[in-house]
Structure 1
Amino acid sequence: MDIRHLTYFLEVARLKSFTKAAESLYVSQPTISKMIKNLEEELGVELFYRNGRQIELTDAGESMYIQGKEITKSFQNLTSEINDLMNVKKGHIRIGLPPMIGSGFFPRVMGDFRKKYPNVTFQLFEHGSITVQNSVGEGSLDIGVVVLPANEEIFHKFTIVEENLMLIVHPSHPFANEKEVELKDLHDQSFVFFREDFVLHDRITMECVKAGFHPTVIYETSQWDFISEMVYANLGIGLLPERICRDLDPEKVRKIPLVNPSIPWHLGIIWRKDRYLPFAARAWIDHTTSYMWRSVRK
């Protein structure tokens, strides 16, 4: 039995006529009759009994009619649901974001996306890049925004930001008026760091060790604004991405380029290579990619 058998049966039952059902469905009457006969043989029961030119449902036919309507309704709903998903009329996207970019670039991208796809919903998870990458790898997130590089054997990626970290200090700090500062000159400073589940934690530590010292960390946090507030309170120094530093009050903290070496902060969107990606998530990646290209051209 397939959905076409049910459709033919229901139309005959509704119109109580093979001829009228054939006309309604734009098929020949022998086709309708054959379909109903095949259905009866498959089920082992008669669905109609004939009384002259009239046809009526048997008790088995009545049950078939009631259940058949529910089945075809469910099938139509399923078809409609799949069509909506394929055309991104609806959908749900699970995205992981580092906390430091949650209030910057992505609200604009999402706002633009929502205008185009108003019935797609988002579930945002704010974690450090390590946790986000693991969650995308495990499948609990569809898409992640992480500090690159990511494992290219596992993930597709699209780079969205290429910047460096900048040094931030209190306005009274000896480095406050410097045009640039070398990393090795920070050997005796107290740092306010991101937590260990942030890629920047290990990356900054590694670069400091390469420069000849191990950083003295007095606080660790998941929030970039907490780092800037700690620096404003003159409790230590911090390293933040250029994008974040643009919004800092120069009366409270000073931002200075870090050199020899500079520490890159490259962000990318990642998703699994070997896992199904929902239609809405694919549309969001395409939209974000297009948005970035438009931004570059401006």
Structure 2
Amino acid sequence: MDIRHLQYFLKVAEYKSFTKAAESLYITQPTISKMIKSIEEELGVILFNRSGKQIELTDAGQVIFAQAQDIVHSFHHLSTELDDLMNLKKGRITIGLPPMIGSSFFPKVLGKFREQYPDVVIHLVEDGAKKVEADVESGLLDIGVVLSPANEALFHSFSLVREKVMLLVHPSHPLAEKEKVTLAELQQEFFIFFRKDFALHDRVIAECVRKGFQPQVIYESSQWDFISEMVAANLGIAFLPEPICRELDKERIRVLPLVDPIIPWHLVMIWRKNRYLSFAAREWLRFTEDLFGGRSD
């Protein structure tokens, strides 16, 4: 058994499918099935329960899964350290960020970084902030952008953006002409939310509950532009970060300050404590912290 066997095993466990795992690895399904079978024969255990629609790890598979993650991560860190010694200022960084961030300030940051480090490859993964945080913790991502506060026990961080959450309503809405709106005024409204894997989802619900009501959520989406279009179609109200609201068509959507409470939208860059970071990743952190004047925690 070599490191490739373990990498293939982890992919099958992640996707719960031989076919999807094979597609993600750009190999054939019979190849990955044969590889898993060879591991099972070598170890003398069955790793996956193949009887249902989705394959599941067996008890033995779960034990191997935990150990395989550590081994693959250690191998990856070893390879990265050696690459740093041989290829200074070359490398690859995997960064996770919520979808709404990518369309606002991030392209400019990437452009400036690439001017200085043209040989560094940056792989962006778009996910909700909660998923990004979990993947930075597990090592699937090198660095992530999430909503503050970050878990100080697990992550180093520095501040990127400090903005507020704004309310979106249709121009014909009774609240459209107000200068500001309180959360309590929205008790009877129909809400359009981000999905549950977005930190803003839980944050808004928590504030509503604090004000004594459970919001009536009729739609959930991962795309801010789709959410704004549903508001423009008069299907409900929504909350979006202030930078996104600056890009919206004010003739089709009214953007109002939310008060009592003001819901902050503070973004921080995070990376895992006590984990090796490549030269490229360290340069990215230094570059962005200098650019934003962020305060390291």
Detail structure 1 runs of 4+ shifted over 6 Å in the superposition.
none
Gaps of 5+ in 1: 1-77
Change (3 A) 1:289 1:84: farther
Which residue number corresponds to residue 109 of structure 2?
109
- CA distance in 2: counterparts of 1:249 and 1:79, whole angstroms: 48
Please give the per-residue CA displacement for 1:102-155, whole angstroms capped at 9, x wherever unaligned. 111111011000000000001110000000000000001000000111110000
- CA distance in 2: counterparts of 1:260 and 1:137, whole angstroms: 34
- CA distance in 2: counterparts of 1:105 and 1:130, whole angstroms: 20
Which residue number corresponds to residue 209 of structure 2?
209
- CA distance in 2: counterparts of 1:81 and 1:179, whole angstroms: 56
Which residue number corresponds to residue 150 of structure 2?
150
8 Å Cα contact 2:162-2:267 kept in structure 1: yes
Which residue number corresponds to residue 19 of structure 2?
none
Aligned residues, how many?
215
Q: CA deviation at 1:212?
A: 1.2
Matched, 1:274 2:274: yes
2:163 counterpart letter in structure 1? E
State the secondary structure of the residue aligned to 1:271.
strand
2:210 counterpart letter in structure 1? K
Which residue number corresponds to residue 262 of structure 1?
262
Q: CA deviation at 1:186?
A: 0.3
Please give the per-residue CA displacement for 1:263-284, whole angstroms capped at 9, x wherever unaligned. 1111000000111011101100
State the secondary structure of the residue aligned to 1:225.
helix
- CA distance in 2: counterparts of 1:292 and 1:79, whole angstroms: 28
8 Å Cα contact 2:109-2:288 kept in structure 1: yes
Change (3 A) 1:91 1:240: same
Please give the per-residue CA displacement for 1:243-274, whole angstroms capped at 9, x wherever unaligned. 11000000110100000011111100000011
State the secondary structure of the residue aligned to 2:178.
coil
Gaps of 5+ in 2: 1-79
Please give the per-residue CA displacement for 1:181-227, whole angstroms capped at 9, x wherever unaligned. 00000000000000000011111000001111100000000011111
Which residue number corresponds to residue 131 of structure 1?
131
8 Å Cα contact 2:99-2:223 kept in structure 1: yes
CA RMSD of aligned residues (A): 1.7
8 Å Cα contact 2:81-2:278 kept in structure 1: no
Please give the per-residue CA displacement for 1:141-182, whole angstroms capped at 9, x wherever unaligned. 000000111110000001101111000100111111110000
Which residue number corresponds to residue 169 of structure 1?
169
State the secondary structure of the residue aligned to 1:166.
strand
Question: Which residues of 2 match residues 33-44 of structure 1 at below 5 A?
Answer: none
> TM-score if structure 2 supplies the norm length?
0.70
Which residue number corresponds to residue 239 of structure 2?
239
- CA distance in 1: counterparts of 2:160 and 2:121, whole angstroms: 22
State the secondary structure of the residue aligned to 1:231.
helix
Question: Which residues of 2 match residues 1-298 of structure 1 at below 5 A?
Answer: 82-83=84-85, 85=87, 87-88=88-89, 90-293=90-293
- CA distance in 2: counterparts of 1:197 and 1:84, whole angstroms: 39
Higher gyration radius (CA): 1
Change (3 A) 1:278 1:235: same
Q: CA deviation at 1:81?
A: 5.1
Change (3 A) 1:168 1:212: same
Please give the per-residue CA displacement for 1:67-112, whole angstroms capped at 9, x wherever unaligned. xxxxxxxxxxx99954454x41x10000001000111111101100
- CA distance in 2: counterparts of 1:252 and 1:84, whole angstroms: 55
Change (3 A) 1:82 1:101: closer
- CA distance in 2: counterparts of 1:141 and 1:292, whole angstroms: 21
State the secondary structure of the residue aligned to 1:192.
strand
